[in-house]
Amino acid sequence: METDARTELLTVADLAGPPGLPVVGNLPAFARGAIPHRRLYGWREKYGATFRMRFPGTDVVVTSEPGIIDTVLRDRPTSFRRARFVSDLIDELGAHGLFNAESDDWRRLRRIAMRGLNAKYVRASFGTILRSAGRLRDRWGALEGQRIDVVDELLRYTLEVSIGLTMGHQPDAGLHRKLSLVFSTLGRRLNSPLPYWRWMRLPADRRTDTAVAEIGELILSRYAEARRRMADGAEPVDFLTALAKADLDGEDPLDDADVVGNVLTMVVAGEDTTAAAAAWTLHFLATHPDVQRRVRAEAAEVFGGDGSLVDASAVSRLTYAEAVVNEAMRLRAPAPYLVMEPVADTTVTDGTRELSLTRGTPVFVLLTYGAETDTGRYPDPEAFRPDRWLTQDAPVPGAQPHLPFGNGPRFCPGRNLALLETTLLAAMTCQSFVIEPDTSAGPVKERMTFALFPKNLGVRMRPVSS
Ligand code: HEM
């Protein structure tokens, strides 16, 4: 990068940042139970758009600066990669797939994954999504007036959809339990100050190893079946059959680890994030009866006379329901930050200052900092106002970032599926029920695990006609 005479040249050590504790530095901000992005936003206010934190053995950069974020997210995989400490955690759980692959390995897996997630398969899975949403609605109908812990319910819903889309079948209770264990281990390790499991395996870690091995066996047996069907000339209908076809055609040969890792990655990347988005959507619906009424009116129009939806394309007419989901994700993004690192020594610039980064320096990218601070784009930012998404202008260059699905070549490939699942669920729920908040467990707060979930969230549902 050329340096302009007026550009100030900095190293990470020159950046301002919060004081840390001896040895652990600022790591406690990420301990279990903390809400890291809120702490990072607070420091951002105090130390500026790009500041420094300290982790054991390394300085860490945190940035909400749009130009730097753009460089870090777009120059992948050539100049930046996911931070090793994140990728290694996921690899250790046997889910080596698209999310944590790098360089040519990533290029190959992205090609395969995009084939398995293309619009045709997502449309084909519409029936699965509709059936799963319908089952959820029936369960909620049976719980009329009682407190419903919607987070658990929504995790089951998004898991059903992920398994349906990837493997073409319904998860049984055993698979659900095993995957829940994998998620809770991942959440615990992501928020653990020290990688204790590398030195000592607790009973929960051993149970997780067994669960991962059993899930792997299940995926491989489903894959063998998918290959047989593809060899007999059938058309691919889901992610697994798309992989089998690519493998058989010799386009992208796959080994067992590729198959298990990629299926697990799709489930891990899609389940918690989408359940979190849906849970926050229900929270805001429950607390905004006027918004609920508008979603209900729109659903009545789009779902037609018998109240059922037969065609995926109709979901695109649920524009207000989708605006509700986008507004919920603006205020409570499931993934408020990502962590990258440069693959070699490099520099980044915010236009006036150039910052040199040594290879491997973790860079926290505050993906959605602008959601609550960019008052030009989101006037009255604390208000829940879905209408703003119906009249949104394109962001102006330099606007504060709001990138809930990331950006650049590694942009989330599941975005359309996630919006389809959550928009449909919001519309179907409002069509059938009046949603009321239940605060008997305490006020709704944020809780960070693999995604940002609502804590204490409970609602009561009453049939619309009553
Ligand atoms: C509301 C729900 C979701 C949110 C907020 C979300 C968010 C994200 C974010 C922030 C990234 C990182 C993007 C980047 O590095 O620039 C990502 C990547 C990814 N997401 Fe999603 N996601 C969601 C749903 C899904 C679903 C349903 C799937 C699967 C069907 C999925 C699969 C993936 C995969 C495989 C990657 C890695 C892509 C790559 O590295 O090339 N996500 N997602």
Segment 307-321, tens digit of pLDDT: 676 677 788 899 999
pLDDT greater at residue 274 or residue 247? 274
Q: Tell me the CA–centroid distance for residue 268 and ligand 1, in Å.
A: 10
- The confidence score (pLDDT) of residue 281 equals 98
Range of 186-190, 376-380, 437-441 with top mean pLDDT: 437-441
Q: Tell me the CA–centroid distance for residue 46 and ligand 1, in Å.
A: 30
Query: Which ligand 1 atom is at minimum distance from the Cα of 165?
Result: 30
Q: Tell me the CA–centroid distance for residue 199 and ligand 1, in Å.
A: 31
pLDDT digit string, tens, across residues 431-446: 999 999 999 999 999 9
pLDDT greater at residue 324 or residue 8? 324
DSSP state of 398: T
Q: Phi-psi region for residue 147, left (φ > 0), alpha (ψ -120 to 50) or beta?
A: beta
Distance of CA 86 to CAs 82, 186, 263, 279, 332, Å?
7, 10, 19, 25, 22
Whether 341 has a pLDDT exceeding 90, the answer reads yes
* Nearest CA residue ID for atom 19, ligand 1: 412
Q: Which two tokens stand for residue 239?
A: 């992610």
Q: Tell me the CA–centroid distance for residue 348 and ligand 1, in Å.
A: 25
Using CA atoms, how far apart are residues 163 and 131, in angstroms rounded to an integer? 13
In whole numbers, what is the pLDDT of the chain averaged over residues?
90
3 — pLDDT class (breaks 50, 70, 90): very low
* Nearest CA residue ID for atom 11, ligand 1: 412
Q: Tell me the CA–centroid distance for residue 155 and ligand 1, in Å.
A: 16
Name the residue ranges covered by the structural domains of the chain: 1-93+336-403
Q: In terms of C-beta distances under 8 Å and separation of at least 24 residues, what long-range contacts does 234-239 make, across chains too? A: 236/121, 237/121, 237/124, 237/168, 238/116, 238/121, 238/124, 238/125, 238/164, 238/165, 238/166, 238/167, 238/168, 239/116, 239/117, 239/121, 239/165, 239/166, 239/167, 239/263, 239/266
- The confidence score (pLDDT) of residue 176 equals 82
Q: In terms of C-beta distances under 8 Å and separation of at least 24 residues, what long-range contacts does 234-237 make, across chains too? A: 236/121, 237/121, 237/124, 237/168
Share of the chain above pLDDT 70, in %: 94
| CB-CB neighbours of 113 under 10 Å | 24
Whether 119 has a pLDDT exceeding 80, the answer reads no
DSSP 298-339: HHHHHH-TTS----GGGGGG-HHHHHHHHHHHHHS-S--EEE
| CB-CB neighbours of 313 under 10 Å | 10
Q: List alpha helices for 319-459, DSSP H.
A: 319-331, 370-373, 415-432
Crossing angle of helices 256-287 and 319-331, in 10° steps, is 100
Residue from 75, 154, 157, 273 whose mutation best tests the ligand 1 pocket (most atoms within 8 A of CB)? 273
- The confidence score (pLDDT) of residue 169 equals 74
Give the SS3 label for residue 353. Answer: strand
- The confidence score (pLDDT) of residue 166 equals 83
Query: Which ligand 1 atom is at minimum distance from the Cα of 408?
Result: 16
Q: What is the mean predicted confidence (pLDDT) over 37-45? A: 96
Q: Pocket around ligand 1: residues whose beta carbon is below 6 Å from it? A: 73, 98-99, 110, 113, 117, 265-266, 269-270, 273-274, 277, 334-335, 338, 404-408, 410-414, 417-418
* Nearest CA residue ID for atom 43, ligand 1: 412
Buried residues in 442-454 as b, exposed as e (16+ CB within 10 A): eebeebbbbbbbb
- The confidence score (pLDDT) of residue 165 equals 83
Q: Tell me the CA–centroid distance for residue 415 and ligand 1, in Å.
A: 7
Q: Tell me the CA–centroid distance for residue 451 and ligand 1, in Å.
A: 11
Query: Which ligand 1 atom is at minimum distance from the Cα of 101?
Result: 40
Q: Tell me the CA–centroid distance for residue 269 and ligand 1, in Å.
A: 6
Q: Tell me the CA–centroid distance for residue 337 and ligand 1, in Å.
A: 12
Residues in the chain: 466
- The confidence score (pLDDT) of residue 1 equals 45
Q: What is the mean predicted confidence (pLDDT) over 10-27? A: 93
Buried residues in 272-310 as b, exposed as e (16+ CB within 10 A): bbbbbbbbbbbbbbbbbeebbebbbebbeebbeeeeebe
- The confidence score (pLDDT) of residue 309 equals 66
Query: Which ligand 1 atom is at minimum distance from the Cα of 422?
Result: 1
Q: Give the containing element (helix H, strand E) for 36.
A: helix 36-47
* Nearest CA residue ID for atom 18, ligand 1: 412
396 — pLDDT class (breaks 50, 70, 90): low
∠445-451-454 over CA atoms, to 5°? 20
* Nearest CA residue ID for atom 24, ligand 1: 270
pLDDT digit string, tens, across residues 215-248: 999 999 999 999 999 999 988 888 888 889 888 8
